[in-house]
Structure 1
Amino acid sequence: MNARVPELPAHVEATIHSFLRSNARSEGVEGAVVGLSGGIDSALVARLASDALGRDRVLGVLLPDAAFSEALRKETEEYADALGIERRTVVITPIENAFRAALPDVSDRVTWGNTKARIRMTTLYALARERHRLVLGTGNRSEILLGYFTKHGDGGVDLLPIGELYKTQVRALAARLELPDPVRARAPSAGLWPDQTDEAELGLGYAGIDRILVALQQGESVGEIARETALPLENVRGIADRVERNLHKRVPAPMAKVGTDVSATGGHAGPSHGAPRARP
C-alpha cells in the first residue's frame, strides 16, 4: 500500500464553502463563530467561513490567557481585521483563576489544560447563542484520529469544516489561499500551557504522523508502516496506540440499555442528519 497523504482535491474549497452555506445559513441560523488562536487551523477556518458566508456573518473570538503574548494577540487581531470579520477578545485568565481558587487541590497540568479548553468552548457557545450562530470547530483529521483534542473543549463544536483534511493538507490549503507567512510557519500548539507544541508532545512532526495515520486507515500493521515510512517502530506504535486509546473521544458516550427504547433503531439515535440549528 501507499502510505502517502492524498493530494489536496481541486474542489476542496468549493466543497467546504457549500458545506458551510448549507449549514450556517439554514433556517434559524445567522452565521458562525470561530475561536482565533493565531494558529493555521483557526486562521484557515475563519478565511473559509468569511469567503463562504460573507464577512458580516462571521465572528472571530480571541480567548487569550496569561501565556498569550501581546505580539500574537496583535497579529491575530490584524488578521481578523484583514478578513473584514467582526472580532471580539475575551480574556479568560480571571475565569481560569476562579476555577483554580475553587479547586486548590487540583494540580495536574493536563487537567488544567483541559479546563482551559472547556472555558474557551463555553465562551464561544455563550456568544454564539446570543447571535443565533453555530460554533465552527478548527480540528483537522489528524487531530481527530489521534484524539488530540479536549473532550467537551475544542471537541465541542457544531461544524467541522476542515475535519476531513490531514494536517499536511491543511498546510497545503493555507498555502493555496496565501494565508500570512507567520501563521503558516508557526509551530502547532493547543496553547494549554506555556511553550507547548503538538509535535513535541506527539513525538513526531505531522508529515510523519500523517503518513502513519493514512497507513493505519488502509489497514497496515505497525511493522509494515515502520518499514514503509522508515520511521522508528516505537514512534509508529505510539501513534497507533494513541489512535486506539482515544477512540472514546470519537464516538457517543456509552448508554445503559434498560429496555425502554421504542425507536426504530433500538439504540442511540445519534446526531441529526439535517443542518444543526442555533441553540435556543
Structure 2
Amino acid sequence: MNNPVEHKVNELVTWLREQVEQANVEGLLVGVSGGIDSAVVANLIKRAFPNQSLGVIMPCKSQGSDQKHAELVTNACGLSSIKVDLTETHDVMFQTIKNQLEADGTFDEDQEKLADANLRARLRMSTLYTIAANHKYLVVGTDNAAEWYTGYFTKYGDGGVDLVPLVHLPKGEVREMAAYLNVPDDIINKQPSAGLWEGQTDENEMGTSYNKIDAFLRGEEIPEKDRKIIEAMHKKSVHKRTLPPSPPQ
C-alpha cells in the first residue's frame, strides 16, 4: 500500500474495532460539531462500524452554520445521526448557578464567558455518555495532537471520552486525512473554532497557529514568541492529561 494516509486510516479503523471488542460493547458514537476533527472521526467510526455508529449533533447557543456543517458531515459519510438541542438546558442551569453566586456576593463577571463555554462542553459530554449507555457504545473523542499537547480542550468536557484516535496526528495530517476521506471542502477550509462565542477562533484564542504547533511537535524551529506560548499552554494543562493527584498511602 503506497498511500500513507490510506494506511493510517486502515490502522485506525482496525484499532477502533479492537477497542470495541475489548470493551465488549456494540459500537461507537461521536459528537459532531461541524469541524474538521469530528468530521474525520465521523468517517472513521462509520468505516469501522457501518451499522453500529452514531453522530450526535448538540447545538447549544451555537451558530447556525455549525449545525448546518454538522449535518453536512453526517450526510456526506452516511453516518446515522441524532440531534439534541442543549440551549435551554444550558441556559437554565447556568442562570440558576449564577443567581446563587450573585446572591452570595461571589459571582465573578470576568470568569463568566469561560465558565459558560465550559458548561456547554460538559453538558455535551454528559449527553454523549447518556446516549452511549443506551446503545452500549463507546464515546470517541476528536482531539488532535496539537490540541492534546496544548490542553486546548475542556477538562471533563470534550476531553471526557473513551477513545482518542487522532491524538497522535498533527492538525496538518488531520487535514490530509479529511481530504482522503472526502470530507466536504466547506469543512476542510473553515477556520478552526470551538464555537464558544461569536467570532471565536482557536488560533486567535491560543495566540499561535496550528501550523506553528505542528512544526514545534516535529522538533522544528519556530519563532520564540510561539514557542513560549506553546510551552506555557502545555505546562498549564498537565492536569488535563493525567489522573487527579492523590496523596501517598
TM normalised by structure 2 equals 0.89
SS in 2 for 1:179: coil
Distance 1:74 1:244 in 2: 36
163, 178, 181: which one pairs with 2:182? 178
* Counterpart position of 1:46: 42
Cα deviation, residue 8, structure 1: 5.7
* Counterpart position of 2:209: 205
Distance 1:75 1:9 in 2: 24
CA contact (8 A) 1:33 1:128 kept: yes
* Counterpart position of 1:153: 157
* Counterpart position of 2:86: 92
CA contact (8 A) 1:8 1:173 kept: no
* Counterpart position of 2:52: 57
Identity value in percent: 37
CA contact (8 A) 2:73 2:183 kept: no
Distance 2:72 2:165 in 1: 23
Distance 1:124 1:91 in 2: 12
Distance 2:4 2:167 in 1: 14
* Counterpart position of 2:246: 255
Distance 1:113 1:14 in 2: 35
* Counterpart position of 1:138: 142
| Counterparts of residues 177-256 of structure 1 (less than 5 Å) | 177-215=181-219, 228-229=221-222, 231=223, 233-256=224-247
72, 89, 96: which one pairs with 2:66? 72
CA contact (8 A) 1:8 1:172 kept: no
Distance 1:112 1:72 in 2: 18
Cα deviation, residue 83, structure 1: 2.0
Distance 2:128 2:166 in 1: 18
* Counterpart position of 1:110: 114
4, 13, 16: which one pairs with 1:20? 16
SS in 2 for 1:73: helix
Deviation by residue 1:40-78 (Cα, 9 ceiling, x = unmatched)? 000000001111221x21110001022321x43234223
CA RMSD of aligned residues (A): 1.8
Distance 2:121 2:31 in 1: 11
Distance 1:253 1:125 in 2: 21
CA contact (8 A) 2:139 2:161 kept: yes
Q: 1:162 and 2:156 equivalent? A: no
Range that drifts further, 194-203 or 102-111: 102-111
Choose 1 or 2 for highest CA Rg.
1
Cα deviation, residue 9, structure 1: 5.6
SS in 1 for 2:218: helix
70, 75, 79: which one pairs with 1:81? 75
Which letter maps to 2:75?
D
Deviation by residue 1:192-246 (Cα, 9 ceiling, x = unmatched)? 222211111112221112112332xxxxxxxxx6xx33x2x22221111111121
TM normalised by structure 1 equals 0.80
Cα deviation, residue 33, structure 1: 1.1
Cα deviation, residue 84, structure 1: 2.1
